Amino acid sequence: MSFKATQYIWHNGHFVPWQDAKIHVLSHGLHYGSSVFEGIRAYATPKGTAIFRLTDHLERMYESARIHRMRIPYSLGDLHEACRQIVRNNRLTKGAYLRPIAYRGMIGYSLAPNPDAPVEVAIAATEMAAFLGNEALEKGVDACISSWQRPAANTLPVSAKAGGNYLSSQQISMEAARHGYHEGIALNVDGMLSEGGGENLFLVKKGVLYTPPTGAAILAGITRDSILQLGRQLGYEVREQALPREALYVCDEAFFTGTACEITPIRSIDGLQIGNGGRGPITAEIQDAFFGLFNGSTHDAWGWLEHVGGGEIEVQHDLAAALA
């Protein structure tokens, strides 16, 4: 997933030029993965640019920080407004990908940092290229079952979206790429389906939607939750249940969900074609309903679209002034 530099990054209460957003090489988060973050999308809509489920994303970020005993030094309202402003200041009127992150800075080498140790915060916003390839949303991707498993319960808090957790994701995705696949799918320690390297997983069998439960060592995705609700609204039965690996080999359709990949069909698994070898009809219907939220054809009954509002604003150089 590539991106182009934008003009500004919000860093510790200031809008700074892209090239000046820096951290120290001895930052705790760099050495130990002590960071929590979110990936958030903004879309162009008939009513202007809107950030999809911004509040839900930020609430999860604060929950992740609590799990790891990190105190974010800004309120959720502060970061909510900063996210809206970074989109405006970078003139991202056609949509954007936002990456707010909170991390422990240069606080020493301790593995037991003081809970009051300073936490730094940054928010980047860039244009977003297709996560799994330009044709993936229509033609689908090829996936494989990874040799890497997701962590066992009570070994690592997988419900937190933390930087260190993504070393596991990198192993899954890099292994898949080495073997010629677009993405890998991990099992949990019980040998049941978990999730992709950076995506949640759905299967369709005889008109029923299936997805692994939160107890399957998955990150409970915001997009996953959106599809659970949209699927039910469309009249489909949706089941969150443990699924064996072979369920993928005999399903009618399968797809990934995530902020980056949105809803991406899976056309094959371990070299076995799934369904028609492309985007299945139920996947297409769910895609239409999801993207309809942004073109206006699907009513946003949940209040998921949080509009950026206003036009370009003058860049402020401290948070207090920016939020005044």
Residue ranges of the domains in the chain?
8-129, 136-295
Q: Is the pLDDT of residue 38 over 90?
A: yes
Average pLDDT over residues 286-310: 96
Q: Is the pLDDT of residue 319 over 60?
A: no
Q: What is the pLDDT of residue 2?
A: 66
> Residue 123 and residue 148: Cα distance in Å, rounded?
31
**pTM beyond 0.75, yes or no:** yes
Residues 6+ apart with CB under 8 A from 155: none
Q: Is the Cβ–Cβ distance between 94 and 123 less than 8 Å?
A: no
206 is annotated as an active-site residue: no
Nearest to 218 by CA among 257, 271, 268: 257
For 103-146, the pLDDT digits (tens) are 999 999 999 998 889 999 999 999 987 677 668 999 999 999 99
Q: Is the Cβ–Cβ distance between 204 and 280 less than 8 Å?
A: yes
- Rounded to the nearest integer, the mean pLDDT of the chain is 93
For 153-205, the pLDDT digits (tens) are 899 999 999 999 999 999 999 999 999 999 999 999 999 999 999 999 999 99
Query: What is the band of 292 on the pLDDT scale with cuts at 50, 70, 90?
Result: very high
Least reliable range by pLDDT among 67-71, 109-113, 128-132, 289-293: 128-132
Instruction: Name the residue with higher pLDDT: 317 or 246.
Output: 246
Alpha helices, DSSP H only, in the chain? 28-32, 54-67, 76-89, 136-139, 166-178, 222-233, 247-250, 281-295, 319-322
Nearest to 131 by CA among 182, 179, 166, 91: 182
Say how many C-beta atoms besides its own lie within 10 A of residue 84's C-beta. 23
State the CATH architecture for 8-129: 2-Layer Sandwich (3.30)
Both structure tokens of 35: 């960071």
Q: Which H or E run contains 240?
A: strand 238-240
> Considering 47, 161, 205, 206, which one is annotated as catalytic?
161
136-295: CATH number: 3.20.10.10
Q: What is the pLDDT of residue 171?
A: 98
For 251-279, the pLDDT digits (tens) are 999 999 999 999 999 999 999 999 999 99
